[in-house]
Chains A and B, each alone.
Chain A
Amino acid sequence: MFKILRDLLRYNREFAIGFVLTLGVFLFALAHFWAPMPDSAIYLLPPDMPPSAQYWFGTTSRGQDVLWQMSSAIWNTMLFGITVTILSRLLAVAVGMISGYLGGKWDEALMTLNDTMIALPNIPILLLVYFVMRDSMSWPVLAATAALLGWNYDARLIRSVTLSLRNREFTRHAVFAGMSVPQILIRQHLPYVMPVIFFTAMNNLIWAIGLEVTLSVLGFSDINRPTIGGMIYWANQHQAIIAGIWWWIVFPIIAIVLLFLGLFLLAISVNEYIDPRSRLSRMGA
């Protein structure tokens, strides 16, 4: 593991830049655990202070330090995004591989479900969930709902990869070697599906964070918990741009852009590394 990391850092510039960016943003987000004040406290500091030596990124109209708000917000947004991504990847892999490998009735049933989900509009459903849940709406519920909406396109992609693997001779050979379906799927097919998972994970993460921002900006989330979207929501509520409190909006946006960029570079370089063809070339095939 350490060796892989070292090789990637040394020989792949995209990975090195992505790694530094993501690590920087991550360490910044991690810092919120040592914040001098709780992130939910308001009017603790003088409001609307521009960036200065004392308040590096200024303070909000609600008397919060933008620096520490951002630290918490990025942490929460990342946590949300990663939770959605992991859950939806698990769903996409399970549905895609089972549907592609077993075929027949399984395939029909799962793909009907899949296509129905594709046809459903995301935002209205999330709003519906919000209105039903109301006060008990918490970020894990939102994450679970988003995950349920975010797997279907990728399941189709994974299904098509599995479908072509199923017809490869080594799959027939595995069957005659007595391997069970889970063994074939996990040991034989998963290495070929991994690049698809990684690549779609990146898209999914961006989609999930975007979704969180959208919902928060509209106020349809737990607004007392700082997130990037939540910060923009409050900034909007206080008409920060009109009032000239630009630092309330600009710094969170810079942070999220850096995070996206870092994750994107990481994804493409890791993808190149785990791609079966590149793997085989390194093994000397």
Chain B
Amino acid sequence: MSALLELNHVNKDYAVGGFLDRSILHAVKDVSFKISDTAPEIFTIVGESGSGKTTTARMILGNETPTSGSLTFEGQDIAKIRSRADKLKFMARVQPIFQNPFEAFNPLSTLDYYLYSTAKRFLGLKRKTEIEAEVDKALNHVGLSLAEVRGRYSHELSGGQLQRIAVARALIPEPKLIVADEPVSMVDASLRMSIVNLFRDLRDTLGVSIIYITHDLSTAYYISDRVIIMHKGDVVEAGAAQTVLGNPQHDYSRALASAVLPPDPVLARRIIEEKMAARG
């Protein structure tokens, strides 16, 4: 088994503060993991704000360079990709999904512009009919069609639909890896499951591996194969989703798991009553 993505003792430090009280923030500390290129999986990074999960995602996408350690994608060091041609080649293999679908599309630009641009640039297509055929094919994967999207602006569609268009766009170059940073946190509850289910289907039918970044343990458990839990830059626990989330060992992961409110009034109320009793 060779690695699709390999993180090897990755660290990322930021200098924070002004001239006088300068200090170093260790955003990511010694993170290592590997994603296989033969067995596609949904790999989840769980953490709260400030855990380093988003910094990790940005490094995987090549938007940040690590302070030490290395990230390699198909054997190539991500931080060393410089020329525009190499960047395009890399972006054709690794694509992002962003948190807020209303922010991810320019409100003053039509949605199809993103789709056409992707098809032109990464597939090298010139003819309009070919481009439209590719875009339509990608939209079909997410249960939409070009006819529904053509000429539309982001405010005309719901968050869930936009997020599916974002996924379709990411699928056009036929990537091997999709990095999704909190892709459902801004999507309405009635549409959230359609996105999460979509990730499952992509893994199973298209063989795309997905790095799913979230603070929500319930959806993490629902779709993940493997999970790492990050806390203040450290990976505190890693392993199969059922083990890590179902039976957490580390104190922080336990606290996180017990902080999830069950969707049941009797159980949830009992938790709150206990907390109230503890307040005295």
Contacts and interface: CB of A to CB of B under 8 A. Distances in A.
In the complex, is A directly touching B at CB under 8 Å?
yes
Interface of A: 168-170, 172-179, 183, 187-188, 191-192, 276, 279-280, 283-285
B169 A172 contact: no
Given A169-B99, A169-B100, A280 B107 contact: yes
Contact of A169 (B95, B98, B117): B98
Contacts of B98: 169, 172-173
Given A169-B98, A283-B155, A284-B155, A191 B108 contact: yes
Interface centre among B61, B114, B155, B166 (most CB of A within 10 A): B114
Interface string B95-115: 110111001111111000111
Contact of A174 (B99, B100, B106, B156): B106
Given A170-B105, A179-B117, A191-B108, A283 B166 contact: no
Interface centre among A170, A176, A187, A276 (most CB of B within 10 A): A176
Given A177-B117, A179-B117, A285-B155, A187 B109 contact: yes
A192 B108 CA distance: 9
A175 to B, nearest CB: 8
Contacts of B96: 172-173, 176
Interface residues on B, range: 20 to 34
9 contacts: A169-B103, A169-B104, A172-B96, A174-B106, A176-B61, A177-B118, A178-B122, A187-B109, A191-B109
Contacts of A175: 91
A179 B155 CA distance: 22
B63 interface: yes
Nearest to B87: A175
B108 A177 contact: no
A172 B61 CA distance: 11
B120 interface: yes
A170 B121 contact: no
B108 A178 contact: no
A280 B104 contact: no
Contacts of A177: 114-115, 117-118, 121, 169
A186 B132 CA distance: 23
Contacts of A285: 107, 153, 155
Interface string B142-153: 000000000001
A279 B108 contact: yes
Contacts of A279: 108
B108 A276 contact: yes
Nearest to A190: B108
Given A174-B117, A177-B115, A177-B117, 9 more contacts: A169-B103, A172-B96, A177-B114, A177-B169, A183-B117, A187-B113, A191-B108, A283-B155, A285-B153
B81 interface: no
Interface string B66-97: 00000000000000000000001001000110
B117 A178 contact: yes
A178 B99 contact: no
A-B pairs, 7 with minimum CB distance = A178-B121, A285-B155, A169-B103, A170-B106, A191-B108, A177-B118, A177-B114
A281 B114 CA distance: 23
Nearest to B98: A169
Nearest to B172: A177
Interface string B183-205: 00000000000000000000000
Interface centre among A172, A279, A284 (most CB of B within 10 A): A172
A191 B105 CA distance: 14
Given A187-B109, A187-B113, A283-B155, A168 B103 contact: yes
Contacts of A192: 108
Interface centre among B98, B117, B118 (most CB of A within 10 A): B117
A129 B109 CA distance: 44
Contact of A280 (B95, B108, B115, B120): B108
Contacts of B169: 177
Nearest to A183: B117
Contacts of A283: 153, 155
B236 to A, nearest CB: 29
Contacts of B166: 173
A285 B91 CA distance: 31
B155 A170 contact: no
A169 B155 CA distance: 16
Contacts of A176: 61, 91, 95-96, 170
Nearest to B58: A172
Given A172-B63, A173-B166, A280-B155, A178 B88 contact: yes
A283 B107 CA distance: 10
Given A183-B117, A280-B155, A283-B155, A188 B109 contact: yes
Given A169-B99, A285-B155, A178 B109 contact: no
